[in-house]
Amino acid sequence: MISDFPVSPSLLAQASVAIGTENNYVAVSMFSLFVAATLGITFWAARKATGASAYFAAGRNITGWQNGLAVAGDYMSAASFLGISGMIALYGYDGFMYSVGFLVAYLTVLFVVAEPLRNAGKYTMADLLAYRMNARPVRAVASLNTLTVSTLYMIAQMIGAGGLMKLLLPGVDGNAAIIGIGVLMIIYVVFGGMLATTWVQIIKAVLLMAGTIFLSVLVLKQYDFSFTKFLGTISNISYVDPKTGVEVTRNFLEPGLKFGSAVDPWGPLNLVSLGLALLFGTAGLPHVLVRFYTVPDAKTARVSVMWAMLIIGVFYILTTFLGFGAATLLTPAGIPDANMAAPQLSLFLGGDLFFAFISAVAFATILAV
């Protein structure tokens, strides 16, 4: 099916069918360990949160690298880990543009938002906006905006949790999984405050980076760590198009598989719209902005953004290996659900145990929002 590295149909079947078998209880066990550890952190943080500053801003004692990891953890959501990998696996270069947009967007945060936000010395974005304006209407609009953005963001995350739970444990009700994830989110925030959510995000970022790095190494190992061989395979992928049933050969390094005018007349305009949304939307995400209140001063805020950019940059570069690896080793025809491209790839390359770990990490990205 793929030049140089043919994939056995039985292996593709194993990668698809094994999702939802008894082996996935290992993934649930790993996820349960993560939940237990984070609940312990919440209990520890609740005992330290004795005032408003401690509860809402972690006492403003978070260091630059700690806040950078937490910001990166906030930013590297299920949409990044599962969604972008799947987009690249199905649409190649066009899917990669999502990674570029997310990364470049952080320049806006670095040069425009981080320092003035921390200098305000308050707890929310509304505090900064109300500083020189009529406080009551500004706070009302800012609160409505925060609730709207947060609700839409959490709905997407929690639906992902339900879908992943159905694939791992078909007997479990997806709605029950969504409710359970929501309850855990509330417990973290209500009882642990910003200190608990900060350390939950740090743990999540470390686990996610570890899993992504290891999976990327496994992908490159298939090509003897030769970028020339890897890129050559990406440029010539043959598979049966699920929509037409016809075998096609496509270059996944060329743009146009999703945003090309031949595919969609509005494709180029949609690409511009996507870029603008990522560039300016990131600078207004409430759960990211409040992180800059947890550091002691503006200098530390800038340091934390630099750390976050480094971690996020490495992560989004690695998602290209995951996405293109899934495209070459599994082929788009072997990926029934784009969001499961990374877990399927982990099963194909690392076996049941690594699949369980990646699935648990995926759950962690959904839980630690």
CATH code assigned at 73: 1.20.1740
The pLDDT value recorded for residue 323 is 93
Q: What is the pLDDT of residues 337-346, one digit of tens each?
A: 787 888 889 9
The pLDDT value recorded for residue 190 is 82
pLDDT surpasses 70 at 11:
no
Give the confidence band of 5 by pLDDT, cuts at 50, 70, 90: very low
Query: Angle at which helices 25-48 and 341-367 pack, to 10 degrees?
Result: 20
Looking at the domain assignment, is residue 185 inside a domain? yes
Query: Angle at which helices 341-367 and 298-329 pack, to 10 degrees?
Result: 150
The pLDDT value recorded for residue 193 is 83
Looking at the domain assignment, is residue 137 inside a domain? yes
Residue ranges making up the domain that contains 295: 9-367
Q: 347 and 326 in contact (C-beta within 8 Å)?
A: no
User: Percentage of the chain surpassing pLDDT 90?
Assistant: 13
Whole-angstrom distance, CA of residue 364 vs CA of residue 358: 10
The candidate with the shortest Cα–Cα distance to 218, out of 136, 326, 293, is: 326
Q: Average model confidence (pLDDT) for the chain?
A: 80
Q: What is the mean pLDDT of residues 95-118?
A: 76
Looking at the domain assignment, is residue 1 inside a domain? no
Looking at the domain assignment, is residue 145 inside a domain? yes
The pLDDT value recorded for residue 8 is 39
pLDDT surpasses 80 at 4:
no
Looking at the domain assignment, is residue 328 inside a domain? yes
Beta-bridged to residue 367, according to DSSP, are none
Sequence-distant (6+) residues with CB within 8 A of 43 are 191, 192
The pLDDT value recorded for residue 17 is 45
Helix (H) or strand (E) holding 235: none
| Tokens matching residue 223 | 């090509």
Q: What is the pLDDT of residues 256-286, one digit of tens each?
A: 888 876 778 888 888 888 888 887 777 777 8
Q: What angle do CA 135, 138, 142 make, to 5 degrees?
A: 130
Q: 25 and 171 in contact (C-beta within 8 Å)?
A: no
Looking at the domain assignment, is residue 238 inside a domain? yes
Q: What is the mean pLDDT of residues 44-63?
A: 79
How many domains does one find in the chain?
Answer: 1
Q: 258 and 250 in contact (C-beta within 8 Å)?
A: no
The pLDDT value recorded for residue 121 is 61
Whole-angstrom distance, CA of residue 182 vs CA of residue 176: 10
The candidate with the shortest Cα–Cα distance to 33, out of 312, 364, 334, 366, is: 364
User: What are the counts of helices (DSSP H) followed by strands (DSSP E) for the chain?
Assistant: 16, 2
pLDDT surpasses 60 at 138:
yes
Q: What is the mean pLDDT of residues 130-153?
A: 83
Looking at the domain assignment, is residue 274 inside a domain? yes
Q: Phi and psi (nearest 5°) for 61? A: -115, 10
Whole-angstrom distance, CA of residue 363 vs CA of residue 351: 18
The pLDDT value recorded for residue 163 is 66
Q: What is the mean pLDDT of residues 206-232?
A: 93
pTM (two decimals):
0.83
Give the confidence band of 215 by pLDDT, cuts at 50, 70, 90: very high
Looking at the domain assignment, is residue 2 inside a domain? no
Q: Where are the alpha helices (DSSP H) in 4-92?
A: 9-17, 25-48, 52-57, 64-75, 78, 85-91
Whole-angstrom distance, CA of residue 228 vs CA of residue 234: 10
The candidate with the shortest Cα–Cα distance to 367, out of 161, 229, 94, is: 161
